[in-house]
Amino acid sequence: MNNSRRVVITGIGAITPVGKSAPEFWSSVVRGRSGVDQITLFDASKLATTFAAEVQDFDPSAVIPKKDARKMDRFSQFAMVAATEAVADSALEVSDQNRDRIGVIMGSGIGGITTIEQQTKVTNEQGMDRVSPFFIPMLISNIAPGLISMKYGVRGPSQTAVSACASSNNAIGDAMRVIQHDDADVMISGGSEAPITPLAVGGFCSMRALSTRNDNPKSASRPFDKTRDGFVIGEGGGALVLEELGHARARGAKIYAEIIGYGQSSDAYHMVAPDPAGHGVKLAMTRALRDAGLQPTDVDYINAHATSTDLGDAAETQAIHAVFGDHAKRIPVSSNKSMFGHALGAAGALEGICTILTIREGIVPPTINYEHVDPTCDLDCVPNVARRHEVGVAISNSFGFGGHNAVLVFRKFSDN
């Protein structure tokens, strides 16, 4: 690996429950606006949880022709919309001279589950011979980066990371590695997810993983709060344009931040529960800092995975204490999921965008709905109101079912 190849972020795009563009998304997050409400995508009245964080009134037609959108699952539509915004934001121009050096890596934990459910209904009601010829390409998780590659005609590395809720962070970290290894100069990366379906929500309800605050959905996602009772399922897509610094400079690109570290680990503990001691999380954060060449005291902000589950938030807190020691209580640690829920495989991309903008704008987003102190989560979680805070280095945590842990380190860009 060529560590002299620095990687910077030159474009961002987002489609979320609290904003249908990256600027609108960031504005909502800073204001602490909740995107959680009753489910409208299907009748959830018979489920234990009847609410979610939906992308309301989603219309991809400005980006995707209607005839093409009909051949795409909702998760792919989210990916295309986010990627299109990110590429436009970066002012990247694809040509015959550079298309072989531009690639796409996206993440998705579940992929085309909407299509699976729809086509299962077709099979049951009309027969197996009525399944759509687009069924397979619509459901496979790797179709999102494939479609993005086709849209721009880029022929660099193209793949999908599937590691549950760590998928986006793995995708972005892997994209950074591709550039460092000199296999590409530019990578479009991030993640998308559309899991608000009867089967997916029903499955999470059966696991008792979701909050059941049906009487007040907007207060349901409450990371680190003592009364937290489960996560709020969300959806959306986020995309970043990662670029080798020399390439970005040569074309005069604006630079949001630099990505300098990536750490991975496995809990090797349980199918869905986190290791209560946070050993795997500690390893991932330690490896990310080592990769970045930093000490724990260099970190100014942590964008926490914190999903609002009892075990998960406590385990992450314990791991942060183990890695950062006395510095842990001096670091602002907030959870964006309090506002837009847990978008599973898209979470890391959306939170990565928030982390980058935190560095650029010097504003730490709040953890909303924080009302009751939990001694097992004794961190500065930036309760309820955003905070002005100069951030030079930040880390973004993502952990997934199966014990997958992926941590990214971002730094304020400097020419030095």
Active site residues: 165, 305, 342
Q: How far apart, in whole angstroms, are the C-alpha atoms of residue 6 and residue 278?
A: 31
Q: What is the DSSP string of 128-147?
A: GGGS-TTHHHHH-TTHHHHH
**Letter for the amino acid at 381?**
C
Q: Which residues pair with 368 in a beta bridge?
A: none
Question: Tokens 């760590």 — which residue?
Answer: 166
Q: How far apart, in whole angstroms, are the C-alpha atoms of residue 165 and residue 171?
A: 11
Phi, psi of 137 (to 5 degrees): -65, -20
Q: Phi-psi category of 325—alpha, beta or left, where left has phi over 0 and alpha has psi -120 to 50?
A: left
Are 275 and 395 in contact by the 8 Å Cβ rule? The answer is: no
Are 253 and 10 in contact by the 8 Å Cβ rule? The answer is: yes
Q: Phi-psi category of 279—alpha, beta or left, where left has phi over 0 and alpha has psi -120 to 50?
A: alpha
Beta-carbon count within 10 A of 255 CB: 18
Are 81 and 148 in contact by the 8 Å Cβ rule? The answer is: no
Give, for 15, the enclosing helix (H) or strand (E): strand 7-15
Give, for 198, the enclosing helix (H) or strand (E): helix 198-206
Q: How far apart, in whole angstroms, are the C-alpha atoms of residue 399 and residue 307?
A: 10
Q: How far apart, in whole angstroms, are the C-alpha atoms of residue 186 and residue 101?
A: 7
**Token representation of residue 73:** 């699952």
Q: How far apart, in whole angstroms, are the C-alpha atoms of residue 297 and residue 150?
A: 43
**Token representation of residue 196:** 């608000």
